[in-house]
Amino acid sequence: MKKKIIAVILCGGIGSRISSLTKKTPKSLLKVLNKPIIWYVVNSLLKNKITNIIFPLGYKGNLIEHYIKKNFKTEKDNFKFIDTGVKTEINDRIKKIIKYLKNYDEIILLNSDTIFDFDLKSFLNYHTRKNNLISLSGIKMFTSWGNIIIDRNNLLKKFNVNAQISSYRLKNYDKYEAFRNTGISIINNKSLSFVKTIKNKNFEISLYNKYIKYKKVGVLVFKGFWYPIETYKDLKITKSDKKIFEKISKLKKKLSSKVK
């Protein structure tokens, strides 16, 4: 039997780290290459045949709803917009929409301020094949900082910027390889019963760590393009960094050819 899938795009935050730009415009509507960030998110879902989407609205949610309904007229009947409050934590936003999720087998949870080019169908196949309750997606990190590479004598071997970090280690977990969480996850409906009981403000820590002991939380590391826009600098880099600009341009063209 084919599973019923729904996506939840978290788009209610104030965007305090980029507040100079979000006084009048919610972060998800800030433009990258003349398209709002959320345009990339919605079209990426539609490209992967994920058409049922819930938008838990908050800060300036009316502007987001208006934009989506205006620019996705043929798909808007599959969209649901829920006002979940301006200063609502993620776990409470989920609680407020949970009744709309009960008829679906799997929920794809993702952010509205991240541009990505992943094969979500392969992610869903992985989730099903492994019989996971929760599947997270990771990616190797890029850094825009200056990087100092030294030899054994502490002499400079190389200095560069915008490098990819192939892997990294975390304190107390130095035996394990770590990856950046993309914020894109798949949650089986069976896990929703626990969501109702979450009181900790950090939704991800509470939910994901709950199911680790059952060995039902899997991770798929993507090799595709992923770019979060968390600060003004991140937004500026989409224009100034040639590689980032080219990748987003290529993605925009691909999404435009698939979905108008």
Encode 126-142: b = buried (16+ Cβ within 10 Å), e = exposed: bbeeeebbbbbbbbbeb
- Rounded to an integer, the average pLDDT of 91-103 is 92
Q: One-letter amino acid identity for 194?
A: F
Q: How far apart are alpha carbons 246 and 235 in whole angstroms?
A: 14
pLDDT of 156 strictly over 80: yes
Q: Which of 44-53, 56-65, 169-178 has the lowest mean pLDDT?
A: 169-178
pLDDT of 165 strictly over 80: no
Q: What is the pLDDT of residues 168-208, one digit of tens each?
A: 778 888 888 888 899 999 999 988 888 778 776 788 888 88
- Rounded to an integer, the average pLDDT of 64-76 is 95
| pLDDT value of residue 224 | 86
Domain ranges of the chain: 5-139+180-258, 141-178
Whether the model clears a pTM of 0.95, i.e. scores above it, the answer is: no
Average pLDDT of the residues of the chain: 89
How far is Cα of residue 239 from the mean position of the Cα atoms in its chain? Answer: 21
Q: How far apart are alpha carbons 116 and 41 in whole angstroms?
A: 7
Structure tokens at 206: 């509470």
Q: Which of 47-56, 70-79, 144-153, 237-246 has the lowest mean pLDDT?
A: 144-153
Q: How far apart are alpha carbons 243 and 259 in whole angstroms?
A: 24
| pLDDT value of residue 259 | 52
Architecture in CATH for domain 5-139+180-258: Alpha-Beta Complex (3.90)
**Backbone angles phi and psi of 82, in degrees to 5:** -125, 125
Q: What is the pLDDT of residues 225-254, one digit of tens each?
A: 999 999 998 999 999 988 899 999 999 999
Give the pairing type, strands 5-10 and 31-32.
unpaired
